[in-house]
Amino acid sequence: MNCIVLPALAALLAAATLASAEEPAASPPAAAPAAPAAVPAEPAPPPAALPPEPAPSQAAPGGASPLARLLLLPDVSAIGRAALVYDGLDVGTLSPRAGTFSSEGEPAAVLEEVELGLQSVVDPYARADVFVSFGPAGADVEEATLTTLSLPAGLQLRAGKLFTPFGRLNAQHAHVWDFADAPLARERILLDAGGEVLSGPGLDLAWLAPVPWFLEVHLAGQDTVVAEGGDPALTGLVRVLQYLQLGDATTVGVGLSAARRDEGRGAFRDLGGVDVYLKHRPPGGRSYASLQGELYARRFRGREGGSDLAGYAQAFFRRGAYLGYGVRFDAAPSAAPGIEGTEQRFSAVGSWFLSEFQRLRLQVSYDRLPDGKDGVEALLHLEFGIGAHGAHPF
């Protein structure tokens, strides 16, 4: 690395030396808008006493955006996602999905969504998180939830419109995924054609068990819609999520989910899922490796359709602050008309985190249908975030 940098540096150095000779006032680059190196040096060391450190500041005592707090504004953020996409397969017909794709052989530019977030505590008892998504299909309230802060006995209630806490990916917003899209397995099993995420208005009661590891049990009831324009139907869910720490660097999470959707006239859709997440991050750095996988099962009762199984497994390696690489294998029932069997998809992603607030990804996938038809997809994906710096979910 140094051998590449040094010659370039030497050249730049000459220029910089010249520039600085002409401009003696060229100050060191300021990191903060406050005067950079102008830390007022004390004239002389005071006589062995502590008083020179002045009184506490009147600034807001920490937390996000102190100025916004003063004005009682919620934290506002916007996250934009856009992509250039090329598909070598007629995805619209042979592998219909909610994610970004182009017509066969015709590259396309797509604005996936702009997600506007408004987040704040409501009062001492609850906080609210509202996410509105603006996309090519229009605007939609993705999530709008009230979360209790002070229920007793380790209980926490979320009410409003929420992503169903079924498995790992479904409960996350797209911009926190390692890959630019969701695996086919999730939407083929949890949703019908055209559905993006299992969600809907309802309640999610979560109990944090009083044990030395993380053990959370969710009971949720929601009216979910599984396809665009479909009818809402009551869905009940149980989820058990556990995390264990193995040493200072490794954390393992395992979740089990079961849900039943009442589809009327004695018909039900039963869903089951297992999700596993393993993250290894030595504390001294930004690099980490993670393994993640989910299995989804579905069985229809009292209506057409049998049982289905699908899943994915992925590995992601974050190399320092700026780079990340991942691979994913995905298997799901084919959704192509007249083609029965399992569709397989292999994806690889390279991520470049330009800063905490921008990332550029190149994702290449190979899609193979059960009848042997196949195709490659390439996705150049840009994501940015402005406004309040939200925390990264684990």
Partner 1 sequence: MRRALAALALLVMPALAAAKPKVVTTTEGLAALVREVAGDRASVESLSRGSQDPHFVDANPMLAVKLRGADLLVDVGLDLESGWLPPLVTQSRNAEILPGGRRRLTAASAVQVLDQPTGPVDRSLGDLHPGGNPHFLTDPRRAAKVAAAVAERLAALDPGGAADYRARAEAFRGRMEAALARWRTALEPARGKKLFTQHRTLTYFLDWTGLASAGELEPRPGVPPPPAHLADLVAIARREHVGAIVVENYYSTKSAETVAGISGAKLVQIPGDVGGEPAVKTYEQYLDVLVSRIGGALR
CB of 102 vs partner 1, minimal distance in Å: 32
Residue 281 interacts with partner 1 (CB under 8 A): yes or no: yes
Residue 67 interacts with partner 1 (CB under 8 A): yes or no: yes
Site for partner 1 in 107-146 (CB under 8 A): 121, 124-125, 127
For 66, the token pair is: 């102190």
Long-range contacts of range 86-91, CB-CB < 8 Å, 24 or more positions apart? 86/377, 86/378, 86/379, 87/375, 87/376, 87/377, 88/375, 88/376, 88/377, 89/367, 89/373, 89/374, 89/375, 89/376, 89/377, 90/375, 91/367, 91/375, 91/377
Contact map string, positions 150 to 189, toward partner 1, x by CB under 8 A: xx--xxx---------------------------------
Closer residue to partner 1 (CB): 54 or 337: 54
Site for partner 1 in 344-373 (CB under 8 A): 355-357
Between the two ends of the chain, the Cα-to-Cα distance in Å is: 32
Residue 60 interacts with partner 1 (CB under 8 A): yes or no: yes
Looking at residue 104, the DSSP 8-state letter turns out to be B
Residue 283 interacts with partner 1 (CB under 8 A): yes or no: yes
The SS3 assignment for 354 reads strand
- Cα gap 128→147, rounded to integer Å: 6
Question: What does the H/E/C string look like for 27-57?
Answer: CCCCCCCCCCCCCCCCCCCCCCCCCCCCCCC
CB of 228 vs partner 1, minimal distance in Å: 30
Closer residue to partner 1 (CB): 35 or 227: 35
Sequence-distant (6+) residues with CB within 8 A of 324 are 178, 316, 317, 318, 349, 350, 351, 353
CB of 393 vs partner 1, minimal distance in Å: 6
Sole window of 51-59, 85-93, 223-231, 257-265 interacting with partner 1 (rule: CB under 8 A): 51-59
CB of 80 vs partner 1, minimal distance in Å: 14
For 265, the token pair is: 């006239």
Taking CB under 8 A as the criterion, the residue among 22, 25, 37, 306 binding partner 1 is 37
The neighbouring-strand residues paired with 79 are 115, 385
Residue 284 interacts with partner 1 (CB under 8 A): yes or no: yes
Taking CB under 8 A as the criterion, the residue among 22, 25, 61, 340 binding partner 1 is 61
CB of 35 vs partner 1, minimal distance in Å: 8
CB of 375 vs partner 1, minimal distance in Å: 37
Total number of residues binding partner 1 (CB under 8 A)? 86
- Cα gap 386→359, rounded to integer Å: 12
Sole window of 59-67, 257-265, 305-313, 335-343 interacting with partner 1 (rule: CB under 8 A): 59-67
